[in-house]
Structure 1
Amino acid sequence: MTQVDIYPFKKYVLALGSGRDVPPGQSVNERYWVLSPGVWQDTQAPEPPENPDTVSAAARPYLQAYPHQLHIPTVYGECKLVDGPVLLLDNAPIDRHGRLFPTLGAAWAGATPFRQVYWCWQLFSLWPHLFDLNMAASLTAPEAIHVDGWRVRLSNLIPGQPPLQELANLIANLLPKSVPTVANSLQPILDECQDEQLNFDRLLEKLNRVLLSQAMEISLMTEVAGSTSSGQLPQNEDACYPSAVELERSSTADLPSLPRIAIVCDGVGGHAGGEIASQTVVRSLQLQLRGLLAEIAEQEEPLAPHVVMDQIEAAIRVANNLVASQNDSQGRTERQRMGTTLVVAVMIPQRIPTPDGYEEVNELYIAHVGDSRAYWITAEACHLLTVDDDVAGREITMGNSYPAAAHVRSDAGALIQALGTREANSLTPHIQRFILDETGVLLLCSDGLSDHQRVETSWANYIGLIIKNIVSLPAAVESWVELANQKNGHDNIAVVLMSCRLTGQTVVVEEKTLPPLPTQPDMSQPTELTAASKALLYGESEEPAEIDGPTEAKPKRSLQALVLAILLLIAFSVAGVAGMLLWQNLQRTAPPEPQDTITTPDS
């Protein structure tokens, strides 16, 4: 399955190479229509594009940068023309109307001080990754750096390893268009880039301080809701937090952390193994993360991003070993070993000391293992924040295959890692930090929803329902689940929504609000879709087409006995993770070599 943004009606790609200079309004190879210089429309999408049998030198850097596709384009295809070869890039900084997003320089003066610093943070964070690929020169070329709202996006990669001072000079040239507080804070950091003995990690820490100082002006309110469904399968191996069951189990002491944690797990393994693994990880992580939130709330200084990431990674490893030990104690081997995917979001409230006391800055950390996904959705855009841990992605990143070919392999979707199938030292969780400065919804889901680009093709109908308060968040969750059942239905489904709203914004409340969908609707008899679900499935003003027959709901299994057995071990794990907060200078470990695939028992 492709990881890139999917436009339901038109597919635009960016053309690079000596043969790209085709006049607008011309057709190329009876497939591509030249919209503007370098921007082509694929008139035959979603038919796979043409690619050479072997990977070209021009395409290889983009394949190797595949894990960073939040900022870097991916390869779409290649075509040979009389004037030379053309490399076509997908996930390029092109909007849905076929126009390039503005460059960093063009957008700088009109941006908020926070966004200016956030863009700088992203550029400096990308530097070591692109330097290792011999593509750091991309970050020193003003024409290659574009911005899509908060997100920095490169239009193309440029080979070279210039000194960091060149990136500093690019930003310094923009500072006259910044407010004095930003210019005065950034200039000393940029000046340090001239030092040949520069400590890059220390530089990032100083830049992070400036970023947090600007983020103090942002105040967020969060709300979280989640649900799962067995779909058309006899048992449900997906789990999430929060869910109706977890909310009933929560106490008053849990309420402060409740809207700050969201978890989705998709279990793998036969004989109820996947169900046990997913629920074990959900319950372990939510306990550990609540402890982490409590510890951070008592800190006198904000923790550096790498320190928080280390704590989250440690919690994930503890949860992994809980499942792995279950596998070992039950004698499960190879395909019998149970495991689970994971995507987790935690909103960390950092305390920032000021002369007038403490201010709070909310940092969003997202971690994932496997193919469960996270999307950030606003009224204008849907951003896929994660990259699947599957065979297709591994082959692309290793430079062995073009994406179009990798995604049609018979084993393309096979997982290369999951929680619990191996010991924690073989696990490589992916963890990112974001700071939100806009109202939107974070969507976490299993592949029961994300398959067939269901999110990418439905988000525009969905987002307005939340922002305009037409439906409640729990009702929106159930509508997403119903969408997956109607349009996919081949797998279990888990959905968690975290609504993030800037405080002080005006909310338009409709006079007639829709009633929430039932938590566990009776699917044994034909049911009329709610208005919220119709809006999701067919558009807010469209009438639905004929719907397939209903499916039978399956009872959920209770795992209370298992929970009681592992609660003591989890409690010790929470204490261990909290204690690790003292290790604020802990260095991140390097990721291991690509792993073998995770196979599941035949159904």
Structure 2
Amino acid sequence: MVKTTATIQCTNAQCGQAIPFDKTVCAECLTPVTKRYLHTLGTKLDFAQGELIGDRYICVSPQVVVDTKPREIPVLPSEVADRFLPYLKLFSCRNHIPQLYGQIALPMTVSKTKIWLAELGSFSHQEQERIWQDGQLLIPLLQAWGNASNLSKLNWLWQWARLWIPFQRQGVCSSLTDINLMGISSSLFKLVELNLDQAMVTLADLGETWQQLLPHSGQLSPLLQELCDRLISKSIVNPEYLVALLEGAMQSAAQGLQRDYRLYTLTDAGPTRDHNEDACFPEPGNLKLIPGDEGVPLAIVCDGIGGHEGGEVASGKSIKALSTTIPNIGMAADTWNSNHIRQQIDNFVCEANDEINGINDAELREDRKRMGTTLVMAVAYGHEMYLTHVGDSRIYFISSQGAQQLTVDDDLASREVRLGYAFYRDAIQYPSGGALVQAIGMNQSNNLYPNIQKFILDRDGIFLLCSDGLSDFDRVEEYWEQEIMPILSGQLDIEDAVKNLLHLANTKNGHDNSTIALLHCQVRPRTTADTIPLDLQTLSQHLTIDPLLPEGDLTNFPFYRPK
């Protein structure tokens, strides 16, 4: 890593120490140093590596900087320019696109244009070293492609295809046909920026883009070639059909892999509360080991709302209902239907909601006296992890490369961003920005929209589910690498990690109840090679989707709402 005389501001508000850049922990308060690596949108910087820009950002490369003042709100304009609206309106796709961060404030004599910055997640120290060497936040797709497993390649293609409809709605589909914008962060397919469409873009253009992957696709080449041919010839124009084909291919590729799980939960009232409205599953303090295909890995965290007489009742009832129904959803391998699984999860969440809502109505509870709960839930079926959330409890994914918040809070701040009214870093400062827009049990289920997404298990990783007693004040961003990532290398037991996180929640925050679940997934070969169908006929024989319809029911796409 290059030497620089610049320092990083400690994120501890009671400290604020200027920390030498090469340090990882503040010497005064022992808070881990937060280094936010950011991408410059469109503009290439003309500064030396290590140079301080605008009295705030360290230049890493022409398109990467590090924020030296992570505790301070970045410079943001009062209005959102039209060309940046897609970034905001696609906020629900934040796992795959950059999140607008702010602008570099430079004198007019230096630059007459505003330099926009965007963030793409948190990076491990090892990844930070790579970024300084390569000058890129993400590993380029073409570079990652050749050494990836068949399941990983199909996973990235699947994520790519799922972005088509939301990108089409925002007029940025051309971004999906520019392979230079694409990179990989662990299991996630990402773009470093978005291009506004200047002409009509079709799936045929996507097929031509995918042809660039063929020389390094190995065993996957025949299948990918056939997909490209059908896209280019316009015998596939329905994005949903394309997604379904890739899901079938992943189902086959996943047969060569086995997943083992370790799961541990803890909950605590915290130092300032006299009772605990949170609840979790499995029972706190009991390590669960789930080898191979035995059992259904299931983790749930609920944060009750409505005071002692209601919050803990709502969270407890949700846990009881979902821990009973969710494990029974499983599908046989030859009849696998992820839409069915997603719909069943939605139904069971709504049933839990209606039970609590019915109690509220029967007891004539109104306004703030109505009880409810947030929900985050992770359940694995085969190679797929289904992630569900309602409210502002969160799910993160931690790998050896970095950490990614997978959920988008159901609060006013996030809603303002999705509507294109505000920048996220600004919206979370609003006095009412953290107010929930939905929770389990507060209204009838026809007004509830559970957020359900699917994550493909193609490598080792850890899912963190937590209430805001831990996630508030960016504690996960500060401590994930120190307190969670060592589990992956066997340097830390999962039980000790959860205990350490709970201690952090109580000592660094301490304003609320805290509940934490860690679900560690380890992926290992079951056979010597993946099993890949040789042609699309095998994959399409059970599909009922018309490949020539421009849109289907969209259940595979971000923004999907069952109702």
Counterpart residue type for residue 335 of structure 1: R
2:46 maps to 22
Residue identity opposite 2:128 in structure 1:
R
1:82-481 equivalent positions in 2, closer than 5 A: 82-91=111-120, 95-97=127-129, 98=131, 99-100=135-136, 101-160=138-197, 161-180=200-219, 182-193=220-231, 194-195=233-234, 198-232=237-271, 233-244=273-284, 257=295, 260-293=297-330, 296=331, 299=332, 301-349=334-382, 362-463=383-484, 465-469=486-490, 472-481=493-502
CA contact under 8 A between 2:161 and 2:242: conserved in structure 1?
Answer: no
Correspondence 1:12 to 2:37: yes
Report if the CA contact (8 A) 2:398-2:463 is conserved.
yes
**Cα distance change on mapping 1:483 and 1:9 into 2, 3 Å:** closer
Q: Any conservation in 2 of the 1:306–1:588 contact (CA below 8 Å)?
A: no
Change (3 A) 1:231 1:116: same
Q: CA RMSD in A?
A: 2.9
Question: Equivalent residue for 2:7?
Answer: none
Q: Is contact 1:241-1:263 (8 Å) kept? A: yes
How do 1:483-562 and structure 2 match up within 5 A? 483-503=504-524
- Is contact 1:22–1:34 with CA below 8 Å preserved after alignment? no
Give the residue type in structure 2 aligned to 1:238: D
Moved more, 124-133 or 40-49: 40-49
Equivalent of 1:51 in 56, 76, 92: 76
Q: Do 2:36 and 2:67's aligned partners in 1 also have CA atoms closer than 8 Å?
A: yes
SS at 2:228's partner residue? Answer: helix
The 1-side partners of 2:145 and 2:419 are apart by 35
1:220 counterpart SS class: strand
1:57-76 aligned within 5 A: 57-76=82-101
Distance 2:327 2:423 in 1: 42
Alpha-carbon distance in 1 for matches of 2:139, 2:497: 33
Q: Is the 8 A contact 1:93 1:154 kept in 2?
A: no
CA distance in 1, matches of 2:456, 2:238: 24
The Cα shift of 1:288 comes to 0.7
> Within 2, Cα distance between the matches of 1:287 and 1:464?
31
SS in 1 for 2:165: helix
1:338-364 Cα shifts (integer Å, max 9, x gaps): 111100011113xxxxxxxxxxxx311
- Identical residues among aligned pairs (%): 33
Distance across 2 between alignment mates of 1:479 and 1:57:
45
Residues 405 and 8 (structure 1), Cα distance of their counterparts in 2 relative to 1, 3 Å cut? same
In structure 2, relative to structure 1, the CA distance for the partners of 1:92 and 1:410 (3 Å cut) is same
Following the alignment from structure 1 to structure 2, what is the Cα–Cα distance between the partners of residues 59 and 495?
A: 36
- 1:244 Cα deviation after fit: 4.1
The one-letter code of the counterpart of 2:378 is: A
Please tell me whether the aligned partners of residues 367 and 430 of structure 1 are also in contact (alpha carbons under 8 angstroms).
yes
Query: What is the alpha-carbon distance in structure 1 between the residues aligned to residue 342 and residue 560 of structure 2?
Result: 17
Contact 1:221 1:500 in 2 (8 A): yes
| Aligned with residue 64 of structure 2, among 16, 32, 39 | 39
Aligned-partner Cα distance in 1 for 2:34–2:486: 22
TM-score between both structures, scaled by the size of structure 2: 0.80
Q: What TM-score comes out, normalization by structure 1 length?
A: 0.75
Asked if the contact 2:302–2:467 (Cα under 8 Å) also holds between the matched residues in 1, the reply is yes
Q: Could you say if the C-alpha distance between residues 223 and 102 of structure 1 is closer, same or farther in structure 2, counting changes exceeding 3 Å?
A: closer
CA separation of 1:451 and 1:93: change in aligned 2, threshold 3 A: closer
- In the aligned structure 2, how far is the partner of 1:122 from the partner of 1:30? 38
Secondary structure in 1 matching 2:387? strand
Question: 1:394 and 1:223 mapped to 2: Cα distance?
Answer: 35
SS at match of 1:219: strand
> Aligned partners of 2:48 and 2:32: how far apart in 1?
21
| Equivalent in the alignment of 2:537 | none
CA distance in structure 2 between the partners assigned to 1:92 and 1:481 by the alignment? 23
Q: Which string of whole-angstrom CA distances, capped at 9 and with x for unpartnered residues, describes residues 152-211 of structure 1?
A: 11110011141111112111221121113x111222223222326733322221111111
Q: In structure 2, what is the Cα distance between the partners aligned to 1:450 and 1:399?
A: 25
Q: Secondary structure at the match of 1:59?
A: helix
Map Cα deviations across residues 531-579 of structure 1 (whole Å, 9 max, x no partner): xxxxxxxxxxxxxxxxxxxxxxxxxxxxxxxxxxxxxxxxxxxxxxxxx
Q: Does the 8 A contact of 2:144 with 2:184 survive in 1?
A: yes
1:195 is paired with a residue of what secondary structure?
Answer: coil
Gaps of 5+ in 1: 350-361, 506-582, 594-603
Distance 1:434 1:89 in 2: 24
Native 8 Å contact 1:14 1:92 kept in 2: no
* Counterparts in 2 of 1:279 and 1:92: CA distance versus 1, 3 Å: closer
Residue 58 of structure 1 aligns to a residue whose secondary structure is: helix
Mapped contact 1:303–1:584 kept (Cα < 8 A): no
- Alpha-carbon separation, structure 1, partners of 2:275 and 2:115: 49
* Higher mean C-alpha displacement, 482-491 vs 86-95: 86-95
SS at match of 1:420: coil
In 1, Cα distance between equivalents of 2:343 and 2:102:
38
- Aligned to 1:221, what secondary structure does the other structure show? strand
Please tell me the residue identity of whatever aligns with 1:96: Q
Deviations 1:30-89 (A, max 9, x none): 323322112122233221111111112232221111111111001111246533222211
Distance in 2 of aligned mates of 1:17 and 1:199: 31
**Shift in CA distance, 467/40, structure 1 to aligned 2, threshold 3 Å:** closer
Q: 1:343 to 1:93 in 2, by over 3 A?
A: closer
Quote the offset at 1:96 in angstroms.
2.9
Q: How many angstroms apart in 1 are the aligned matches of 2:544 and 2:386?
A: 17
- Give 1:584 deviation, angstroms: 9.5
User: How far has the Cα of 1:335 moved from its partner?
Assistant: 1.7
- The structure-2 alpha-carbon separation of the partners of 1:56 and 1:501, relative to structure 1 and needing over 3 Å to count, comes to same
Cα deviation, residue 305, structure 1: 2.1
Give 1:381 shift. 1.8
Alpha-carbon contact 1:310-1:588 (below 8 Å) kept: no
